[in-house]
Every structure is written in C-alpha cells, then in structure tokens.
C-alpha cells in the first residue's frame, strides 16, 4: 500500500543533528547534503510512484523519496548495495540529505530496495513509462548534476540512475532463475553441478548482488551468467527440457543475451523488448511467444 513520506517536514526537536556543536551543524547545513535535501529530495513526486503498489490496505511502503534518493547517491558515488546500506545506517550526512535527523529514525530491509527496482523495471517494460525519468524531468537533470555529490568516477543523470536500477534488477532475476533450475535437478545432478552453482546459492538472489560495485562489475556478472546459462541449457535439455524451470531459463537467456559468432553478450537495456520475461514465476509469459524461443 502506498503512503507518502512527509515526516521529514517536521524535524525532531531532540536529535543527533541538534546535538552537534554549532560549528559542525552549520558546516552540515552548508554541505551538499542540505542542497540535496532542498533541491532534490523535497521535490520528488512520490505520488507518481503509487502505481507500483496495491490500492487496498496492506503494509505501507518504504518511503519512495528514500529509495529514489539512495538510488541517485548510489549511481553518483558508485556504491555497492552493501555500501549504500551502511551509509544509510551510519552516515549522518547521507541521512540528513534524506530528511533524517537522528540515527534512531527510520530503517528498511534491503529487500525493499530490490523489490522497488523490480517494480520500476517491470512497469517500464510493460507500459513504456520510465517513472524515474518522469520524476527527474520535474526536477531537471541539471539540478541533479549540480548537487555536488559527483566524485569524478561516475556520470550522474536520470539515464545513468535508471540504467543502474535495471541492470541490478536483471542480475537478480537471472540469479533467481539459476537457483530455480538447480532446485529442479535430481539429487545426483545437484551433486554433479554443485561447484558450478555454488556462487549463486549463497542466500537469496538479492544477497548475490549485495557487494557488486559499479556498472562495469554488473556487466561482467551479466556476461558471466550468460555463458553459464548457455552451457546449462545445452547440458540439461535432454533430461529437463520440459521442466518449467528450464523453460524459464531458456526464455531469460533469449530475452537477455545475443550470440555473436561463438561469444555470448548481455543485451543493452535498450535492446530489451516489452514482452521479455520479468518474473521467474510468470509461466504464462514464458509461453507467450513460445514459437520464438524453440
């Protein structure tokens, strides 16, 4: 259920920010964090993202402005998800940029960020509407660029942030598919392929992407998984070709990769089609274009 976050409009009277010595508090108020809060965070139109959530009573969403703000900072600084979460938990400057004035205020599980990415990507592919780009258009890329959070290591604009989110969402989906096909194997085949699958079975798929840092690292992982999927599809076809998990793996491979001569390459985000598979549980989508994937 969608709920807008307006708590930041009424800062706490007693907080870590107010406990700072005057000189340090004034320094914080003159830093990029204050600019980010005023010029970006407060301008995020959370209502535009309400389409991503159910409209009946349920657990409220993690504040959209936190998730969008953190996504922008992640792209600008090139953080991994692990670093992003550490900054959210312990970095007073980052928290101030997100309207949080005390270390006891607010928390969220990283899975909420993963779900948010997935919802954004699915909505974009299904409706052709990039909600992040629309939100940034209201703020303008120039303001984002001028927020002084650039480090010289990353370009930061709406295109970069959106691409970052889609890449991470794709990687998590592919890892989930590998976990599913492993569970579909017989006990003897699980033992046979245990070493092959080992890197992808340590926790849920979100935990796999937890420490991956930077776009190049994500691209490297996407290509590595593509080569693995190609080998598995060939080796497992005879015994498991009719299994739903195999069909999902096949569909995902065709959706996300292209073969040039003998090499497998991940498709660029702009090459992905609206009908590509967006969930390992969407078996209907797996067969929607089944003639194309035989």
pLDDT of 215 reads 85
Locus of tokens 């690292």: 217
Largest CA distance in the chain: 71
Residues near 18 by beta carbon (within 8 Å), at least 6 away in sequence: 12, 25, 101
Rg value, the chain, Cα? 21
* Averages of pLDDT over each 10 residues, the chain, 294 residues: 92 91 96 92 94 88 95 89 95 96 92 90 85 84 60 58 87 94 97 96 87 90 96 97 95 95 91 83 48 32
Query: CA 155, CA 146: separation in Å to the nearest integer?
Result: 12
Q: CA 115, 37, 169 angle in degrees (round to 5)?
A: 20
Q: CA 101, 107, 109 angle in degrees (round to 5)?
A: 155
Phi first, then psi, for residue 266 (nearest 5°) are -70, 135
The percent of the chain in helix, strand and coil, each rounded to the nearest 5, is: 65, 5, 30
Can you give the length of the chain in residues? Answer: 294
- H or E element that contains 89: helix 81-90
292, two tokens: 């194309």
CB 103 within 8 A of CB 199: no
Kindly report the number of other CB atoms within 10 A of residue 29's CB atom. 14
> With the CA atoms of 240, 241, 247 and 252 taken in that order, what torsion angle do they form, in degrees rounded to the nearest 10?
90
pLDDT of 253 reads 96
Kindly report the number of other CB atoms within 10 A of residue 97's CB atom. 27
pLDDT of 290 reads 35
pLDDT of 78 reads 87
Query: CA 84, CA 73: separation in Å to the nearest integer?
Result: 8
pLDDT of 281 reads 78
Long-range contacts from 54-63, C-beta under 8 angstroms, 24+ separation:
54/1, 55/1, 55/2, 56/1, 57/1, 58/1, 59/1, 60/1, 60/2, 60/3, 61/1, 61/2, 61/3, 61/112, 62/108, 62/112, 62/113, 62/116, 63/4, 63/5, 63/106
pLDDT of 218 reads 92
- Give the residue among 187, 198, 188, 293 at the shortest CA–CA distance from 246: 293
* Pairing mode, strands 257-260 and 263-266: antiparallel
Q: Any idea where the domains of the chain sit in the sequence?
A: 7-156, 163-293
């Amino acid at each position: 259920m969608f709920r807008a976050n307006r708590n930041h409009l009424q800062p706490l009277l007693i907080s870590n920010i107010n406990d700072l010595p005057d000189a340090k508090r004034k320094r914080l108020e003159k830093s990029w964090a204050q600019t980010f809060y005023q010029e970006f965070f407060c301008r995020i139109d959370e209502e535009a993202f309400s389409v991503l959530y159910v409209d009946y009573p349920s657990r409220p969403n993690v504040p959209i402005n936190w998730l969008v703000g953190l996504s922008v900072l992640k792209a600008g600084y090139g953080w991994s998800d692990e670093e992003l979460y550490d900054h959210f938990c312990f970095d007073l400057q980052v928290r101030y940029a997100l309207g949080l004035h005390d270390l006891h205020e607010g928390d969220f599980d990283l899975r909420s960020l993963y779900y948010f990415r997935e919802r954004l990507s699915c909505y974009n592919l299904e409706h052709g509407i990039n909600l992040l780009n629309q939100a940034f258009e209201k703020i303008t890329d120039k303001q984002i660029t001028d927020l002084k959070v650039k480090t010289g290591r990353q370009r930061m604009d709406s295109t970069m942030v959106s691409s970052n989110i889609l890449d991470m969402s794709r990687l998590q989906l592919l890892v989930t598919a590998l976990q599913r096909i492993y569970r579909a194997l017989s006990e003897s085949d699980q033992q046979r392929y245990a070493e092959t699958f080992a890197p992808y079975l340590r926790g849920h798929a979100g935990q796999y992407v937890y420490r991956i840092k930077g776009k190049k690292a994500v691209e490297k992982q996407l290509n590595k998984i593509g080569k693995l999927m190609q080998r598995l599809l060939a080796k497992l076809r005879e015994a498991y070709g009719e299994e739903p998990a195999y069909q999902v793996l096949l569909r995902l491979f065709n959706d996300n990769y292209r073969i040039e001569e003998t090499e497998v390459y991940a498709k660029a985000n702009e090459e992905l089609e609206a009908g590509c598979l967006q969930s390992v549980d969407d078996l209907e989508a797996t067969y929607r274009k089944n003639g194309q994937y035989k």
